[in-house]
């Protein structure tokens, strides 16, 4: 028997994975959750029928959503991750010795449970004493803080279902308020090939909440729609190119498989169609 | 009726396009050829069941296989493209006023014929008086030249079937001989995600034929396997970063949709796993 899983990335494009085994299929209060073991990309986490992450290429997404901010901020101590229940972002954050507290605010406890059980290479630091997990809606949670976090990372699903508000103006306003004066907000911002209109909207909203620095960067994630992915870098003080901590990157004691000094400098140089789309 | 075309990018991964219409299906002396009209990526050229190029994302491949070399070389006049019968590379080369002669050596006349008929936005410059088309095996063709070309671009299909020899040592040796003392050779070098072993082999071969400068660069092509694609930059004199012609890039009179000065500098900064793979 040949079992295949297909994600329809748009109405007209499908990416199909040949499956060894279905490890978990279930439904939480919020969404359908599945873990499939694929031949090409290792284990695959699927939420509401959408590819969230795979063991083989997750390193690209998780290194890029974390290290550019962590190697720009002078001395981040408190970081908040909204979403990201698989634990991949937390794993990368914890590599930085300066981090005292990493809060993971995931709405769905089943995602964390499933990841701990089936995706150990992602969830490996979720039990770290520096990590606090709260099972709450990130939109409400972040609104309780004032000048508390150094970095907030929005590691959300696509802007449908529970994650929709994570792309809105009032959420960004609350993130701004929850950040210290030197704070940085990173938001995954979808595919520049398919969602340039959404990226423009994110840019407009981030500028409206008064972040003086709003930039976008990109990377290649084979299992995400179009393979090209982007993140917004919104910052109160530090610029990811001007304030890049070159020595700290060069002397870091941990390994990265995608991120390095050259990549940090390169990923803010956007292809012309992407720059043009930003206006 | 919903018609879908699926390319199996590996044994375990398929990319599927929803099809509006089958415009051409045929067989030449060398290969199966099809042109499909897709909903998401416009017209799609398929050779031997493999995605060659689509109207929507071809600009990335064709800008990246041409402009980095053309904006590094001081004054390229004669360029040879091997393969590339769709005409996309020739179209980009012809944008450079310094080019006096662009030779397209395509083994299969039917590819050119089909592209002229069904892919007018790619083949638009194939009738340009500066362009000479020869229908020959590139491996034999290039062996007839000594110090003639400024730039050779190997715009080949995957290293199976007629294109296999285009990745071999003796072909690279002939390219070296066919290039002038300031010559540059560009070769498409497949996906770093799936074919890092092949890329290593290309690097080894290019260094063995005495190119003093051998570098790799990469870009994102949504319809190619893994979305991450690479090219080898082998050069007798000019370095793509040291000798980049910034003013010429800034003052160019033609539009590009992916390539720009920042991209030129960025694409040689490889992700860590790619660098490590090169040794």
The rounded Cα B148 to chain-centroid distance in angstroms is 20
Among A56-65, A152-161, B37-46, B109-118, the range scoring the smallest mean pLDDT is A152-161
| Structure tokens that stand for A31 in this block | 């969404």
Exposed e or buried b for every residue in B222-232, given b needs 16+ CB within 10 A? bbbbbbbbbbb
User: pTM for this one?
Assistant: 0.97
Task: Determine the pLDDT at residue A164.
Answer: 82
Catalytic residue among A155, A174, A210, A243: A155
Q: Tell me the residues of B at the A interface, defined by beta carbons under 8 Å apart.
A: 4, 6, 10-18, 38-41, 57, 60, 193, 218, 220-222, 226-228, 255-260, 262-263, 265-267, 269-273, 275
Q: Is the distance from CB of A111 to CB of A126 less than 8 angstroms? A: no
Task: Determine the pLDDT at residue B63.
Answer: 98
Using the predicted structure, report yes or no on whether residue B148 has a pLDDT greater than 80. yes
CB neighbours (10 Å) of residue B219? 24
Task: Determine the pLDDT at residue B28.
Answer: 97
Q: Tell me the residues of A at the B interface, defined by beta carbons under 8 Å apart.
A: 4, 6, 10-18, 38-41, 57, 60, 193, 218, 220-222, 226-228, 255-260, 262-263, 265-267, 269-273, 275
A244, A248, A252, A258: CA torsion to nearest 10: 10
Task: Determine the pLDDT at residue B158.
Answer: 82
| Structure tokens that stand for A248 in this block | 């700290």
φ/ψ of residue A233, rounded to 5: -115, 100
Q: Which residues of chain A have pLDDT under 70?
A: 162
DSSP class of residue A166 equals: G
With 0-12 / 13-18 / 19 or more C-beta atoms within 10 angstroms meaning exposed / middle / buried, residue A182 is middle
Task: Determine the pLDDT at residue A60.
Answer: 98
CA terminus-to-terminus distance, chain B: 50
Nearest Cα residue to B115 out of B128, B102, B124: B124
What domains sit in chain B, N to C, each tagged with a CATH number? 3-54 (2.30.140.10), 58-278 (3.40.50.150)
């Amino acid at each position: 028997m040949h079992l295949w899983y297909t994600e329809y990335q748009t109405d007209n494009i499908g990416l199909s994975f040949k499956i060894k085994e279905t490890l978990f299929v279930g439904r939480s209060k919020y969404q359908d959750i599945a873990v499939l073991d694929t031949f090409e990309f290792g284990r695959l986490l699927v939420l509401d029928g959408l590819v969230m992450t795979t063991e083989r290429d997750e390193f690209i997404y998780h290194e890029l959503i974390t290290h550019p901010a962590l190697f720009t901020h002078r001395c981040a101590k408190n970081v908040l991750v909204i979403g990201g229940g698989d634990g991949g972002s937390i794993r990368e954050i914890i590599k930085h010795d300066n981090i005292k507290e990493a809060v993971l605010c995931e709405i769905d406890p089943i995602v964390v449970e499933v990841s701990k059980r089936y995706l150990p290479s992602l969830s490996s630091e979720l039990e770290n004493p520096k990590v606090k997990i709260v099972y709450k809606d990130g939109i409400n949670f972040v609104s309780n803080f004032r000048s508390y976090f150094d970095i907030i990372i929005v590691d959300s699903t696509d802007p449908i279902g529970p994650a929709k508000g994570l792309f809105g103006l009032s959420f960004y306003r609350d993130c701004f308020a929850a950040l210290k004066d030197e704070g940085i907000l990173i938001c995954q911002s979808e595919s520049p090939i398919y969602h340039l209109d959404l990226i423009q909207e994110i840019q407009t909203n981030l500028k409206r909440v008064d972040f003086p620095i709003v930039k976008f960067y990109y990377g290649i994630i084979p299992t995400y729609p179009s393979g090209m992915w982007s993140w917004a870098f919104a910052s109160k003080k530090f610029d990811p190119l001007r304030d890049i901590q070159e020595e700290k990157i060069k002397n870091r004691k941990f390994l990265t498989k995608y991120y390095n000094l050259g990549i940090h400098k390169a990923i803010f140089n956007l292809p012309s169609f992407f720059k043009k789309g930003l206006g």
